[in-house]
Chains A and B, each alone.
Chain A
Amino acid sequence: MAEGTGRGESLSIWFFVGMITLLYGLVLTPYGAWQWLTHHPPANELLLPWLIHLHPTFWWGLLLLTFGAFYTTKYRPGTN
């Protein structure tokens, strides 16, 4: 039984959690990489120069992507 979504359903709550964080990771990581590689920091980072070198969009996107990929894979339909 898929956890939380009812008897007979195949997608569990944790799959939804994984899916949405994976989607966000897939949006943010390439965008953050583009900012990093093309030296296009956003307006707020121009005003806070210490922030430019941290590349928060890329790293946060990568974290969401990793978290999402793990949960989507672990709880994909047919595994529980």
Chain B
Amino acid sequence: MTEGHARHDRHTVALMGNPNTGKSSLFSALTGTRQKVANFPGVTVEAKIGTARFENSELTIIDLPGTYSLAARSPDERVATDALLGRIDGTAKPDGVIIVLDASSLDRNLYLGTQVLEFGLPAVVALTMVDVAESRGITVDVKKLSEVLGVPVVEINAPKGRGIDELKSTLHRTLHHPGKVLELEYSEDFLRGVDTLHEKLCDLGVKLGFKPARPEALRLLVDGAGPFFDDCEAVGGEEFVNTFFEIRERASAGRSLSMIEAQARYGTIGKWMQEVKQTEAREGRTKTDVVDGILTHKFWGSLVFVLVMGLIFQSIYSWSGPLMDLIDGGFGALGDWVGGMMADGALKSLVVDGIIAGVGGVLIFLPQILVLFLFIAILEDLGYMARAAFLMDRLMSRFGLNGRSFIPMLSGFACAIPAIMGTRVIEDRNTRLTTIFLAPFMSCSARLPVYVLFIAAFVPEMKVLGFIELQGLVLFAMYWVGVLAAIPTALVLKKGILKSKVTPFLLELPSYKTPRVKAVARTLWERAGSFVKRAGTIILAVSVLVWAAGYFPHSQSVDDTYDAEIASVEAEYPEAVVNFNPEEDDESLLAQFKAIDDAHEERVAALEEEGAEDLEEATAESKKQRNAEMAKLSGKSRLAADALNDYASWKTLQEQRGDVENRRAGEHLEESFLGQAGHAIAPAVAPLGWDWRIGMAAIASFPAREVIVATLGTIFNLGSDQDEESDSLRDVIKDAKRADGTPLFTLATGLSIMVFFALCAQCAATLAVMRRETNSWKWPIASFLYMTTLAYFASLVTYQVAHALGA
């Protein structure tokens, strides 16, 4: 074989089949790790593209989404047809097709099979699940199947690697011969309808921008409505529509066209099966039947379901916590380390507060994503996801969703990011979009810091009805705010905007299989990679933008004022105190006193950490020890006694310096673009009981809700290292005053902020993932506008009502 030949021997092959047929394992077996995700414009589904090698040839394989039929009622369902015809930009027209058929339900699998064979592409059938079929007493005659279909059939077992080489070589041979169009026995009227419509479509061809294929005419004839019809109507106008319905009228001869198609296909398939398939009645129930008897049982099934869902929720909500803390702490330490090596200024702030914090803000979501997808991948592979949907459909259908929406919605209570990514288990496009839109309404863990801060500060510690903690009750109510807002939203969305009728929820309950570690690992790897690459960049960009808005203009005059203040404070202390730098000095007497003091503080921190019962006593004990050690050291010499005094002065100086720095940061923030924005929106948020500082903190929390806590810390001159448990922050917001001297924060303001954060879309990561999953900016923008408006008015009502009641 010459080099020239080898270079030309490249082919593109589409991989098609029903869901649950082992299509993905076949794709992996063919392509190994050489695969990437292909995004199709305008649709929410994606395909994987990989390369397989056979001798000197290279095969590009497009793994199309699993489907039961080529009928296209939504743009997502049209992808398969478009891909087969090479109509997708950036994806080559396939030279052939691999049709995956599950031997254990061959009849139904062949429905799609006959549709694909009508395209006349060179085709090879990969027959999977032969062992499952045999265990049910079904034997398939491979040679006969090949004869009736008119294409080669190769029996494969992808997980075990059997038949893969034979499939490749068969494919290689087949691709060098033209394919054959499968002709089914339709009625005369029907065939005439297809041909007439095909001619009409060809006339429209120029305006459509492509030459319509005959199988497309068949699809349009039968499907009637759908994206292809919309395209034709757009270019053909009323004249086309009228002719179209006349053609349908004549082709149907009074019957349903779907019925004509289905009967022609299943009629032929039935005849084939008499030759191809032998079924031997088996005694007893299959393994799947036995397992299903338990897992979908009224009592046991519900119990297992509750346990599994509890486990999933618990894992995302708490068990991913340690990993998240590790990432959080790691990036904090990295920021400190890098910051320590850089000179103060805009660049340092950009690197530490913008980039490092931003990357940390992206990776922090990985544990929850990985944990959720670990469960989804295992349960999907096992076959339990379909059962979970079966169990929950009744409940979810009341809100216009379906059973598949349950797990994403549940995950939303931990974090909307994995929840939105998890909606890819929902086949129906409208239901999936609705679920994506609703998931951020579930009260996620990032809202908790906001609730904790304001509940602890403003909700009195008292009991209602003698035993219910009021604080706990308010927290519980906050969780309901989102759910209560989601329900009407769901109904409006489904009926109003998506205008979908109740979509059919026909769900195959596949036979149970053992999950494969490799497949699960691959899913996790893909999900993590796709999140970091596609959503991560947006999240990082937003973090840097918001950092810049909060940093600039950073005027020198502010710095000059505070530098002067520091200088005047330092002037009151001896030089030794001012110049003492514990990081460079660990030998001087000052440093020794500091070491004694630090040891005491470490002991107290350790005591607090372990939650010692006698905390106060133990602290006093430690303090005594410290004082004794200090006295011992200072008693040694006159010099040492002076040093103790200096150490005390140094501690006071540090506090004064910290106070000046915090005020400096506060003023920089106030005069920053963010601060200016806060002032600008102040009149708009005044009816919510907010002043410019709260308004600014709300804007600053756009990258993530919990940022409000640190922003409030900065603006109230406490520094940014505040958390929701911090006493000083709690105290300072209690004391904060408005310009007229009245308290800024009251119970009414606290409630208004909490309600706002329960409903708002202040989470750049959610919006980025929404963009990623819907493949369009339309949805995240709609979500942001809707949630922000809703949050504003809910917060307004909350404040006004609470305020009127005297809260």
Whether chains A and B associate is: no
Interface residues of A (CB under 8 A from B): none
